[in-house]
Amino acid sequence: MNDGRRGRSRWGLVAALAAVPVLILGLFGWMVVSAAVSDDFLGGGPEEVPCAEALAFGGARLPQGAQQVGACEVMAWQDTHYSAEFRMPRAQVRDWLADAYPYAPEPDTEFCFDNADLCLELDFAMEHSDPEVAAHAVQVYVTYEGTDTARVRFSAFTV
């Protein structure tokens, strides 16, 4: 009479063991699909932050007379990436960069990405060891909009 119970117990164990690979494959499939449709598959996409916070992460301040363009954002998981975009008086761009990064080389005007008119790329691990700067790298791309205005795209991040 115990043969019936043993048979049911075996099938219960077989079903439980068969469910484990199905659960593992399901979790793996969810991770693959999530990674394919999202930059951050664990959630927590870009969050809006004050522009002053974004620039401070890279060791700079928002220049006087700057007007924010869009949202300043942070994305963080393993690395942290801040971005800001603003307009400022064109005549003040070089002075602002020199004040923010006095140790930096002269900004480039020839080999800039995204058709920028002026760019500065800093790798803090290589160029200095300022403990006040949390970012490992900073990128600043400036596009001139007419004779008076410059559009600045600022990015500071860890690697």
Mean pLDDT within 3-28:
65
Provide the token pair at 78: 């393993």
Q: Is a pLDDT exceeding 60 seen at residue 3? A: no
Q: Do residues 124 and 133 touch, judged by C-beta distance below 8 A?
A: yes
Condensed to tens digits (0 to 9), the pLDDT of residues 36-89 reads 445 555 556 899 999 999 999 999 999 998 999 989 999 998 899 999 999 999
pLDDT at 153: 97
Tokens 């791309």 belong to residue: 141
Mean pLDDT of 111-123: 93
| Mean of pLDDT over the chain | 83
Give CA–CA dist 23/26, Å, rounded. 5
Give the integer Cα–Cα distance in Å for 124 and 101: 11
Helix (H) or strand (E) holding 34: helix 2-37
